[in-house]
Chain A
């Protein structure tokens, strides 16, 4: 699920950036630092939308770096249990498959794949139904439901299932080619 929230952060800026474009530099540094990271508390920071203001900088002794408290608003992505996501399959093995929904990695174990789908080893390992009409392989797009999340300080990992109504492959690259 996506959120738009306001966050605060201290940015350290090298003294060489001090000058008329200080604000621009701060903004760039903030984007580099924050976008694409993950905090267990909030989730994945997708993009910064507003750079509101920054307070008075504090020169750190010894280094000359200045720390600015910065407030910004950003879009956050955080997966939740029972959330339904669309994801791209990245890896298929006999234990299940891994998929990515944007920044988040999701593992679907073979017990959570419908019983009628079987693992087919080979150079393009995949899960296929007995009538070969549905195939899950690398780069397939699947709709899955998250049944569990593990949230660490810096990463979020999810376990998903496609063993439910309306879940499964939504676009099969093999069928298109």
Chain B
């Protein structure tokens, strides 16, 4: 499934258009903690990692008040980014959702304690509607540009002419009456003075009256804004065009999604009925909080596999290990592979593959242990490699010296020898770093909870803020 490009799209959109979204309560005007800017971004980001999710659960994970969250989601629903579903359900009804959530996860079943009550509650669920988001965003961009362009063009659709002598104004509609036989310009009906087009007059005398001046300035501003839109929304446009030919991930309606996932879960569990209350004990070790994003692990892995496949066309040394390696590993690991194509490379590859299987956005503490292990292993490998290399190099130099007996040559040659691979190393390293940076940036931007909410991308941040300004001034029409 082409989920990743769409996720990226949503993230870009969130930062471009909803970064400084301020949702006010209808009647409460507390300004102290009322500043919930950036919350929209967090919510959208969180939603990219989930499929259908119960809003209460989402609120819990994001550590938001459910009312606040609902307000944000309602806004997104109006903006057609999110599809929501509400239904009254008993514990049993909730269970089908849980079953589905569990199936979407790694087949673990997650059940809330409180759900044994048989009371009917209205629960709301929400989900990103990717295909609609694509359309909505495209439409939004189109409207933005159209509005500006229209205003720019309409500025002088009907040209006005002014008689400099008697200040009489004519519009282009009078053109037929104004042409004179003597020359090819327009003449005033009253005083026969030569008329000037209004905008020419403006250009001629810089200090026109305030109204005209304001209009000209407005025009400049519009032009400027249009350019800014082009530049700042370029990443978004690129992402849109990238996504264009990819099928949008479809989760269907809540019921469909539940049914599909429950089925999948049943199949993988070998369990006949998941909805049965007696069989809900499996997942109790998980503390009762559903962790819907667990489900994404699977997808993530598949995706990275796909990416690797795509990158097969690239030089072989660069494959497999892209994307997932932490930065400290990239640099030194590259030195190894570039220098010595023996066991060290092998090992780093193995590390990489280890990393690959690990979900990227999984920021749970247990990862740290593994990371430490890897780190240790790597350090060991690195030192052996370093030692070996030194030995090798010394050997090479000695050999050269013996062979030629020349004093200057060995240094040159050894330089050459070490230079060739190091050259390559540098090139590859930078390339990899690029990829790595890119990836890492994005991974940082994946907040798994409210803690990372304030983390923003540098480039995106700038763009989002400025386009936010634009938004303030223009007041887009939607729908």
Q: Interface on A for B, CB 8 Å cutoff?
A: 91-96, 98, 105, 107, 109-112, 121, 125, 147-148, 150, 157, 159, 161, 163
Q: Interface on B for A, CB 8 Å cutoff?
A: 153, 156-159, 161, 172-173, 175-176, 179, 184-186, 197, 199
Given A95-B184, A147-B158, A148-B157, A109 contacting B175 (CB threshold 8 A):
yes
B435 → chain A, closest Cβ, in Å?
A: 40
Chain B residues with Cβ below 8 Å from A161 are: 157
Contact A109 B184 (CB under 8 A): no
Contact B176 A148 (CB under 8 A): no
Contact A107 B175 (CB under 8 A): yes
Contact B157 A147 (CB under 8 A): yes
Contact A93 B179 (CB under 8 A): yes
A sample of 29 inter-chain contacts (CB < 8 A) reads A91-B179, A93-B179, A93-B184, A94-B184, A95-B161, A95-B179, A95-B184, A96-B159, A96-B172, A98-B175, A98-B176, A105-B176, A107-B172, A109-B159, A109-B172, A109-B175, A109-B197, A111-B156, A111-B159, A111-B197, A111-B199, A112-B156, A112-B159, A125-B184, A148-B157, A148-B158, A150-B173, A159-B173, A159-B175
Chain B residues with Cβ below 8 Å from A91 are: 179
- The 3 A-B pairs at the shortest CB distance, nearest first, are namely A93-B184, A150-B173, A109-B159
In whole angstroms, how far apart are the Cα atoms of A125 and B179 in the complex? 15
Contact B157 A96 (CB under 8 A): no
Chain B residues with Cβ below 8 Å from A93 are: 179, 184-185
For the complex with contacts A95-B179, A110-B197, 16 further pairs of A-B residues with Cβ separation under 8 Å are A94-B185, A95-B197, A96-B159, A96-B175, A107-B175, A109-B172, A111-B159, A111-B197, A148-B157, A148-B158, A148-B172, A157-B173, A157-B175, A159-B157, A159-B173, A163-B153
Chain A residues with Cβ below 8 Å from B176 are: 98, 105, 107, 157
Q: Which of B161, B172, B197 contacts A159 (CB 8 A)?
A: B172
> What is the predominant secondary structure among interface residues of chain B facing chain A?
mixed
Closest to A155 in B: B176
B199 → chain A, closest Cβ, in Å?
A: 7
Output the residue of A93, A95, A157 with the most chain B CB within 10 A: A95
Chain A residues with Cβ below 8 Å from B186 are: 95
Closest to B178 in A: A95
In whole angstroms, how far apart are the Cα atoms of A174 and B199 in the complex? 32
In whole angstroms, how far apart are the Cα atoms of A121 and B183 in the complex? 11
In whole angstroms, how far apart are the Cα atoms of A39 and B176 in the complex? 18
In whole angstroms, how far apart are the Cα atoms of A105 and B178 in the complex? 14
Chain A residues with Cβ below 8 Å from B175 are: 95-96, 98, 107, 109, 157, 159
B404 → chain A, closest Cβ, in Å?
A: 66
B306 → chain A, closest Cβ, in Å?
A: 40
In whole angstroms, how far apart are the Cα atoms of A72 and B153 in the complex? 43
Chain A residues with Cβ below 8 Å from B172 are: 96, 107, 109, 148, 159
In whole angstroms, how far apart are the Cα atoms of A94 and B197 in the complex? 11
Chain B residues with Cβ below 8 Å from A125 are: 184
In whole angstroms, how far apart are the Cα atoms of A157 and B170 in the complex? 14
Contact A112 B185 (CB under 8 A): no
Closest to A152 in B: B173
In whole angstroms, how far apart are the Cα atoms of A3 and B154 in the complex? 29
Chain B residues with Cβ below 8 Å from A159 are: 157-159, 172-173, 175
In whole angstroms, how far apart are the Cα atoms of A125 and B156 in the complex? 24
Closest to A105 in B: B176
Chain A residues with Cβ below 8 Å from B199 are: 111
Chain B residues with Cβ below 8 Å from A148 are: 157-158, 172-173
In whole angstroms, how far apart are the Cα atoms of A92 and B183 in the complex? 11
In whole angstroms, how far apart are the Cα atoms of A92 and B184 in the complex? 8
